With several copies, the nearest count.
Chain A
Amino acid sequence: MSLHLTKGLFTAPAKHGIMRGMQDERGLIVEARSLDGDCRLLKIAVPQIAAQAKPGNFVMVRVSPSLDPILRRPFGILQSEPPHIWLYFQVRGRGTQLLGSLRAADSLDILGPLGNAFPELAGKKILLIAGGRGIVPLFHYAKAYAAQRQLLLLYGGRSAAELHLLEEIKAMPFEKTVIFSEDGSIGKKGLLTAGLEKLIAEQRPQATLSCGPEAMLARLVRMLKPGKTENYASLEALMGCGFGVCHSCVVLAADGSYRKVCDEGPVFPLEGIQWPN
C-alpha cells in the first residue's frame, strides 16, 4: 500500500488552486426554508466563499457556537450566487437538527470552499445521476454549465416528499430529465438505476457525474461499461476537519491505498474506488 498518487487514475487534485482560497468565514443566513421530508434550504451570505465556489466543492459548517457538537458538518454547495451560497440538507442527527433550527438573521461559521471540483468536461454530453440529497453538487454543476454543455439528469429518491427542487430543475435547459421514486409517488417507480441503461442507450452521454448513497454508486459502477463513459462520483465520508489534516475521511481506493475524501476528493473517478458488493 502506498500513499503516492497513482498518476492517471486520479485527476490531480485541484487542491492548490482551490484550497488556497479557502476561508473560515462568518456567514449570515438570509433565508431559511423548511421542505417536506425534514429537509431544509438555507441561503447564506458568505461573499468570499461564494466568489470562489466551484461545482463539486463543499463547506464545513459550525452548527453551534458551543463545544458540543465539537466538529463541523460537511455540506455540498447547492448553488453559488455571490455573495450567497445555498445549502440543501436533510435533518438526520443532532448536528443537522441544530443547523435546521437556525433562521434568517442567524449567523454561523463556514469554512470553504473545500475539496476538488467536478471536471469541467467542456463540450461533452454528460449524464448527471443524483440519488436523494446527492442532487446538491450536481445541481451546482448544472447551474454553472447547463448553458454550455448538453446535460441529462437522472434523479431518484424514496418518495415525492424527498425529491425537491423540481421546479428549478424544470427551468434548467436539461436535454432530458428522468425522475424515479421508490414508492412511485412521483415519476417512475423504482430505483433510479432501473432507468440507467435505457437512458444511456438512447442519449449516448460521454460522461457521467454521480452523487448519492453508497449502494447507488456501487450499483452504478457495476452497470456502467468501462471505457464507454468517463465516470466521476462525489463521495461522502465522516469528516473531522474537511481540509486534509485529520486523516479521518479516508476511502479505500481501487489501488488499495486510502484517499482522503476531503482534499483528494470528494470527486473521484467512479472506478477508482473499491465499492462494497
Chain B
Amino acid sequence: MAELSADLGFCTLKNPVIPASGTFGYGEEFLPFFDLDLLGALILKGIFRKPRSGNPPPRLAETPAGVLNSIGLAGPGSEKLQEIIRRLHAKTRTPIIVNVCGEDDREFEEVAEIFSAMAEVAMLELNISCPNIKKGGACPAQDAGHTSRLVRRVKKVVRKPLIVKLSPNTADIVGVARAAEGAGADAISLVNTFLGLAVDLEKRKPVFANTLAGLSGPAIKPLALKLVWEVCRQVRIPVIGMGGITSGRDVLDYILVGAAAVQIGTVNFCEPGAAVRIIGEIEAEMDKLQIKNLSEIRGKLQA
C-alpha cells in the first residue's frame, strides 16, 4: 500500500490533494459529499478585509474543457470569515488554509495579520495573482519587484507558513518565484488562471464586464505543468502545483515535475466528490507503478 503523505518541509500533509481557493466555497458545502478529514488540506475562497459583492453576472463561461471566470472575489469579508472558520474547524481536523486577497499591499497585510492570529488557521496563501480585480487583469505577481516587496511586508506580520500564489500571466514566472522565495515565502503555489477572452456575438461585447477573465480547467493542464516544472527546478522551497487536474494520474504528473502537493480547482464544480476519487486513484496508480511514496518520484523527471 502506497504511502500518500506529502512533505511541505514546514509540515506534512496526509496526502497531496488540496481543493483550490474559489472552487471549494467555505468547505462546509462539501460535507454532504465526503468527510473533510480525508483531504490533505483545504483552502477557502479568497477573502478581503471588507465584504465584496463581486462582479455583475455573467461570471462564468464554459470553454472547451475549461471555464473562464470573472467572479471578482465576492465574499463576506474578514470578520464573517473568522466565524465561518471557527465553525468549520469544529467539524474537521484537516489543515485550513486562508486565501488572502487585497486591493493594495496594505489590505494584503491587514488580512494576513488577521488570519495569522487565528489558531484554527494552519497556513496562509497569498493570492497576488487574481486576474479579476484590476481591469486588464493586472496583479502583483506579474512583477518580481512588487512580489518581493509585498511578500516581505506580509512576512513581517504573520506567524504562519506563507504560501505565495503565482500568476501564469507574466513573462518570467521563474523570476517572480525567485523573488517570492527571496522575500521569505515558505512555499509557492501555481498557477492561478490564465487571462482569456470570450465575446458575445449578438451583443458585440465581451461576455464579461471586465472584458478579460481567468481560464482554468483541464484545457490548461499542459501549460500549467510546464510552468510548475520550470519553477520547481529554480526554487528550493516547496511548490504546490495546479491547473486542470482531474485524475490521480494528473496529480502524479505534477509530483513528477517537482510539486510537493497539488490543488484541484474546476473539477470540484463538475464533480463534487472529485477530491476523494482522486485520492483513491493516486493510491491505486502508485500501487500499479510500484511507487511506495511520493518522494520517490517527486522532481524525478529526466529532462
Contact check, B57 vs A71: say whether CB atoms are below 8 A apart: no
User: A3, A22, A68, A245: which contacts B23 (Cβ < 8 A)?
Assistant: A245
> CB of B24 within 8 A of chain A?
yes
Complex contacts, B31 vs chain A, CB 8 Å: 20
B135 to chain A: closest CB distance in Å? 20
Q: Bound complex: CA of A22 vs CA of B29, how far in Å?
A: 11
Complex contacts, A111 vs chain B, CB 8 Å: 272
Contact check, A2 vs B51: say whether CB atoms are below 8 A apart: yes
Q: How many A-B residue pairs have CB under 8 A?
A: 98
Contact check, A70 vs B71: say whether CB atoms are below 8 A apart: no
Q: Bound complex: CA of A257 vs CA of B57, how far in Å?
A: 12
> CB of B147 within 8 A of chain A?
no
Contact residues of A: prevailing secondary structure:
loop
B204 to chain A: closest CB distance in Å? 19
Contact check, B71 vs A246: say whether CB atoms are below 8 A apart: yes
Contact check, A245 vs B60: say whether CB atoms are below 8 A apart: no
> CB of B25 within 8 A of chain A?
yes
Closest residue on chain B to residue A2 by CB atoms = B51
Q: Bound complex: CA of A252 vs CA of B55, how far in Å?
A: 11
Q: Bound complex: CA of A175 vs CA of B240, how far in Å?
A: 62
With A1-B53, A3-B51 as known contacts, state yes or no: A248 contacts B69, CB within 8 Å.
yes
Contact check, B53 vs A70: say whether CB atoms are below 8 A apart: no
User: A22, A245, A247: which contacts B59 (Cβ < 8 A)?
Assistant: A247
A74 to chain B: closest CB distance in Å? 12
Contact check, A71 vs B272: say whether CB atoms are below 8 A apart: no
Contact check, A248 vs B60: say whether CB atoms are below 8 A apart: yes
Contact check, B58 vs A238: say whether CB atoms are below 8 A apart: yes
Binary contact readout B139-161 vs A (1 if CB under 8 angstroms, 0 otherwise): 00000000000000000000000
Q: Bound complex: CA of A247 vs CA of B33, how far in Å?
A: 19
Complex contacts, B32 vs chain A, CB 8 Å: 19-23
Contact check, A67 vs B65: say whether CB atoms are below 8 A apart: yes
> CB of B217 within 8 A of chain A?
yes
Contact check, B67 vs A240: say whether CB atoms are below 8 A apart: yes
> CB of A62 within 8 A of chain B?
yes
Complex contacts, A20 vs chain B, CB 8 Å: 31-32
B295 to chain A: closest CB distance in Å? 28
Contact check, B58 vs A70: say whether CB atoms are below 8 A apart: no
> CB of B273 within 8 A of chain A?
yes
Complex contacts, B30 vs chain A, CB 8 Å: 245
Q: Tell which of A69, A240, A257 has the most Cβ of chain B within 10 Å.
A: A240
Complex contacts, B56 vs chain A, CB 8 Å: 252
> CB of B129 within 8 A of chain A?
no
Closest residue on chain A to residue B59 by CB atoms = A248
With A68-B64, A70-B66, A258-B54 as known contacts, state yes or no: A62 contacts B59, CB within 8 Å.
no
> CB of B270 within 8 A of chain A?
yes
Complex contacts, A3 vs chain B, CB 8 Å: 51, 53, 74-76
Complex contacts, B64 vs chain A, CB 8 Å: 67-68
With A70-B270, A71-B270 as known contacts, state yes or no: A246 contacts B60, CB within 8 Å.
yes
Measured as residues with beta carbon below 8 angstroms from the partner, the interface class of chain A is: 20 to 34
Q: Bound complex: CA of A237 vs CA of B29, how far in Å?
A: 20
Complex contacts, A224 vs chain B, CB 8 Å: none
Contact check, A69 vs B25: say whether CB atoms are below 8 A apart: no
Complex contacts, A109 vs chain B, CB 8 Å: 271
Closest residue on chain B to residue A248 by CB atoms = B60
B59 to chain A: closest CB distance in Å? 4
With A19-B32, A70-B62 as known contacts, state yes or no: A246 contacts B269, CB within 8 Å.
yes
Taking CB atoms and an 8 Å cut-off, the chain B residues in 90-111 that contact chain A are none
Binary contact readout A241-256 vs B (1 if CB under 8 angstroms, 0 otherwise): 1011111111110000
Taking CB atoms and an 8 Å cut-off, the chain A residues in 251-272 that contact chain B are 251-252, 257-258
Q: Tell which of A72, A244, A245, A252 has the most Cβ of chain B within 10 Å.
A: A245
Complex contacts, B210 vs chain A, CB 8 Å: none
Closest residue on chain B to residue A239 by CB atoms = B60
Binary contact readout B42-64 vs A (1 if CB under 8 angstroms, 0 otherwise): 00010000010110111110101
Contact check, B57 vs A237: say whether CB atoms are below 8 A apart: yes
> CB of B193 within 8 A of chain A?
no
Binary contact readout A66-80 vs B (1 if CB under 8 angstroms, 0 otherwise): 011111100000000
Complex contacts, B69 vs chain A, CB 8 Å: 240, 246, 248
B79 to chain A: closest CB distance in Å? 11
B76 to chain A: closest CB distance in Å? 5
Complex contacts, A22 vs chain B, CB 8 Å: 32
Complex contacts, A67 vs chain B, CB 8 Å: 64-65, 217-218, 246
Contact check, B74 vs A250: say whether CB atoms are below 8 A apart: yes
Q: Bound complex: CA of A111 vs CA of B45, how far in Å?
A: 22
Q: Using a CB–CB distance below 8 Å, which chain A residues touch chain B?
A: 1-3, 19-24, 62, 67-72, 109, 111, 237-238, 240-241, 243-252, 257-258
CB-defined A-B contacts under 8 Å, sample of 12: A1-B51, A3-B74, A19-B29, A20-B32, A69-B62, A70-B266, A240-B60, A240-B69, A244-B25, A245-B25, A248-B60, A258-B53
Extra contacts, 8 of them, besides A67-B217, A68-B218 (Cβ < 8 A), are: A19-B29, A20-B32, A24-B273, A62-B271, A68-B64, A111-B272, A249-B57, A251-B57
In order of increasing CB-CB distance, the 7 nearest A-B pairs are A245-B25, A248-B60, A241-B269, A1-B53, A248-B59, A67-B65, A240-B60
